Structure 1
Amino acid sequence: MDSALQVDRDTLMALAGAARLLSNPPGQIPPGALAGERVSRQQGRGLNFDSLRRYQPGDDVRLIDWQATARLRTPWIRLYNEERERPVFLIVDQRLDMYFSTRGQTKSVAAAKIAGLLAWRSWHDGDRIGSLVFGDDDLSLQKCRSPASNLHAVLDDVLRYNQALPARYPAEPPATVTLTSVLQRASQLIPSGAWVAVLSDFHDLDAPAEALLAALRRRCEISAFVTLDDLHLRLPSHGDLAARYQGHDAAFSLSPHLQGAIQQSITARLARLENRLTRLGVRVNQIVVAQDLIKQLQKGV
């Protein structure tokens, strides 16, 4: 099997060791951290209810449990303990637009490997993990569960959708699944306080998708892993170039002027995409598929 075009199970399983090289996701509690060493990484209170006890002078009146106080006719307060894990939710794009590269691995393979690395990172950290992996016409959902019970289901979905791409490529059937529809489905299952990783090239990011990301950002941390091929930075100044997209073929001769225009256009588009996501509060990581994924993730995650 050509690992540049699709991943296999052995590849995903072998990522377990490499995942230890990654830092915790944004806001995640480092393993072994002691209470009081850090600011809470939860949005909002970030606490679990623990128990009730009688009110004592000096207690925060905001912690008074009014129902218990009314029932027992003396003031009682609620005690909390801080949550020690954060759910991780992966949204993994495996559509035909991701089945592209000019060297190294395809965008779909890079996204699959990153998903595997983040899934294994959750395993090491003991964080609940869920996922939505999607192709051009269907998707598969996994609710957030313990990594012991859900890791292999997440990896199986990534593997299945990734390996389906080569057979779909020649026909290029029309896509019915959009980033907007995916975010609509995912938002219903993602628990508040989760860290959400979206792995895609974001080619169809539109206003409705931005609105969904903005709503999700109000209750979760979001990181976007924008996969891209860097051909625009490597174009020769002369020569012939052929391209095909969704059944349309084009061929043209390169000139220094055209080379510069292509590079400027794509660079500007990527900058606009990053600005749009950043304005929503999304952390953006641009992933060049031909470069070392681990080193790029170490810089961005």
Structure 2
Amino acid sequence: MENPLTIDRNTLMALAGEAKLLSNPPGQISPGALAGERVSRQQGRGLNFDSLRRYQAGDDVRLIDWQATARLRTPWIRLYNEERERPVFIVVDQRLDMFFATRGQTKSAVAAKIAGLLAWRSWHDGDRLGSAVFSDTNYTLQKCRPPASNLNLMLDDLLAYNQQLAQQYPAEPATTLSLASVLQHARQLIPAGSWVAVISDFHDLDAQSEALLAALRRRSEVSAFVILDDLHRRLPSSGNLAARYRGHEAAFSLSGVLRDEIQQSITTRLGAQEKKLTRLGIRVNQIVVTQDLIRQMQRGL
């Protein structure tokens, strides 16, 4: 049975098989990327050699391999692969605001699993993989490299940052890294034409982070995975509730009117957040922690 609070290495490794259930590519091909399938067989020069085949009527005579033709005494031509590369860069929020759940897994655990699934999808596709994993006080960057080089490094980062949350709770840092500051550090490592996945609850989406996301979108495809706990959809009609956030505590009696106001406030906030991201040209995928993760990602991708 999975730990609802954190992830472990076995969980991350088991995602390899589930990642095959996701669509490929995950997200739209960006304006900066090459069109078509990422690997297509072309008859041309200056590309990567793939194989030889017998000459057929209508083939370009410039493609004839004269050494093979002389050796085999029949015309043979060279076939080439044109590589369509689409690097993948994954930004993963593992701050204390993500260490929350009313049921099911924490937002931080679900975010780590999404990142693991996308990383394994890149492994299967052979895409270059880069990442930025961050907490309230630190971040680790991995520049885009072949997945054989970067997959284990990224999984190690996910594991370390995710498990730190349980150790830090309920202590709360005086200051915390913002989404904008992490995007600022990460953007110079993101190649043009990449697919960028930002996995967070986006609670601190502000003008600076919007500007950085807009700049990224001009040169890459960007998808936002907004992680949600659905408490606001399941509030009781009445009763006594208590809440604590960053040193502030409150207890109150929940009435039907107050319940409706809370639901409306959260729905409005999430709608405004989605509108901001969509206006930037970012594909928004709202992920509810209590619902089937693979199905939600299949719909979103």
TM-score, with length taken from structure 1: 0.83
The answer to whether the aligner puts 1:185 opposite 2:173 as a matched pair is no
Deviations 1:199-239 (A, max 9, x none): 00000010011000000000000000000100000001110
SS in 2 for 1:43: coil
Matched residue type, 1:93: D
What RMSD over aligned residues (CA atoms) do the two structures have, in Å?
2.0
Instruction: Report what 2:39 is aligned to.
Output: none
The answer to whether the aligner puts 1:246 opposite 2:234 as a matched pair is no
Instruction: Report what 1:38 is aligned to.
Output: none
CA distance in 1, matches of 2:121, 2:2: 26
Q: What's the CA shift for 1:83?
A: 3.9
Instruction: Report what 1:108 is aligned to.
Output: 108
Instruction: Report what 1:292 is aligned to.
Output: 292
Instruction: Report what 1:43 is aligned to.
Output: 31
Retained in 2: the 8 A contact 1:89–1:130?
yes
Larger radius of gyration: 2
| Structure 2 counterparts to residues 192-271 of structure 1, below 5 A | 192-271=192-271
Retained in 1: the 8 A contact 2:33–2:85?
no
Deviations 1:260-288 (A, max 9, x none): 00000001100000000000000000000
Retained in 1: the 8 A contact 2:33–2:194?
no
Instruction: Report what 2:97 is aligned to.
Output: 97
CA pair 111-102 structure 1, distance change in 2 beyond 3 A: same
SS in 2 for 1:188: helix
CA distance in 2, matches of 1:259, 1:153: 44
CA distance in 2, matches of 1:244, 1:176: 18
CA pair 18-45 structure 1, distance change in 2 beyond 3 A: closer
CA distance in 2, matches of 1:222, 1:196: 5
Q: What's the CA shift for 1:84?
A: 1.8
Q: What's the CA shift for 1:51?
A: 4.4
Instruction: Report what 2:176 is aligned to.
Output: 176
CA pair 280-187 structure 1, distance change in 2 beyond 3 A: same
Instruction: Report what 2:125 is aligned to.
Output: 125
CA distance in 2, matches of 1:42, 1:271: 25
Retained in 2: the 8 A contact 1:136–1:174?
no
CA distance in 1, matches of 2:27, 2:286: 16
Instruction: Report what 1:160 is aligned to.
Output: 160
CA distance in 1, matches of 2:156, 2:174: 25
Matched residue type, 1:211: A
CA pair 162-45 structure 1, distance change in 2 beyond 3 A: closer
Deviations 1:18-57 (A, max 9, x none): 0000002123xxxxxxxxxxxxx4524738xx749xxxxx
- Give the aligned length: 261
Deviations 1:153-176 (A, max 9, x none): 011001100000011112112233
CA distance in 2, matches of 1:45, 1:207: 27
The answer to whether the aligner puts 1:141 opposite 2:141 as a matched pair is yes
Matched residue type, 1:166: A
Retained in 2: the 8 A contact 1:278–1:284?
yes
Instruction: Report what 1:276 is aligned to.
Output: 276
Retained in 2: the 8 A contact 1:98–1:106?
yes
Which residues of structure 1 form unaligned runs of 5+?
Answer: 28-40, 53-80
Matched residue type, 2:176: T
CA distance in 2, matches of 1:269, 1:42: 28
Matched residue type, 2:88: V
Matched residue type, 1:205: L
CA distance in 2, matches of 1:240, 1:133: 37
Which residues of structure 2 form unaligned runs of 5+?
Answer: 36-44, 48-80
Retained in 2: the 8 A contact 1:15–1:116?
yes
Q: What's the CA shift for 1:82?
A: 5.1
Retained in 2: the 8 A contact 1:85–1:126?
no
Instruction: Report what 2:27 is aligned to.
Output: 26
